[in-house]
Amino acid sequence: MRPDPFAWSVPWVGFVLHTDALFTLAGILVGMAALRVAARSRGLQVPTYVDLLNIGVWAIVGGRAWYVAQEWPFFVRYPLAAFAVQDGGIAMPGVVLGGLWGLRGSLGAGALTWAALPLLLPPALAAGRAVQLVGCVVTECLVGSAADVPWAVQEDGARHPVALYAVLLLAAAWFVASRTSQSRRWLGLGAYLGAEVLGLVLVGFFTVASA
């Protein structure tokens, strides 16, 4: 794994945002922007920026809570570390659940309903998740077995860039989901879930080293 290449010391605040946290934040912002684009392109009510801020805050809270629950032995010993979001550690399932909780206030108003979510969420989730995993590509936090390919990463020898494969799958899912029509609204959701599942399969197949 590379050193923290994009660590940023926030002026006047006194803490450092690490690469993982920066790309996770960027992923949430890109996902919210993709949600607005998907709603506008389909003639649905576009969430306001206040709605998006609410969604973003709850996405971060949910993602951090899920991560803390996953790593509870550590956080039982160091409970204050649960608030150090700038160090990274936000789980995608919690981001989704938190974002849905933040989105609930906008649903049911105008054309934006629960029935519209299969059209709106897949492109937003695929875009946001792809950007988040770009951070893993940059830091080489997820590499695979030995590889003899031109795009291999150099981590204890040439290895498969598993995170890059996952990003490409999610980019393809975004492409499909962003062009899904109302009559085939479940196709986009299937493409996103398929990309996530296939990404897990690739991780299990290729990955021999992480971190």
In a domain, 2, yes or no: no
In a domain, 194, yes or no: yes
Q: Could you give the CA distance from residue 9 to residue 18 in angstroms, rounded to a whole number?
A: 9
In a domain, 181, yes or no: yes
122: how many CB neighbours lie within 10 A of its CB? 28
**Residues ≥6 apart with Cβ < 8 Å to 24:** 63, 88, 90, 132, 135
pTM of the model: 0.79
Would the pLDDT of 211 be above 50? no
In a domain, 97, yes or no: yes
In a domain, 138, yes or no: yes
Q: Could you give the CA distance from residue 54 to residue 35 in angstroms, rounded to a whole number?
A: 14
In a domain, 139, yes or no: yes
In a domain, 1, yes or no: no
Average pLDDT, rounded, for the chain: 82
Q: How many domains, the chain?
A: 1
The pLDDT confidence band at residue 2, using thresholds 50, 70 and 90, is low
Residue 37: domain span: 8-210
Q: What does the pLDDT look like over 150-168, one tens digit per residue? A: 888 877 778 888 889 999 9
Would the pLDDT of 176 be above 90? yes
Res 209: pLDDT: 44
In a domain, 117, yes or no: yes
Work out the percent of the chain whose per-residue pLDDT is above 90: 23
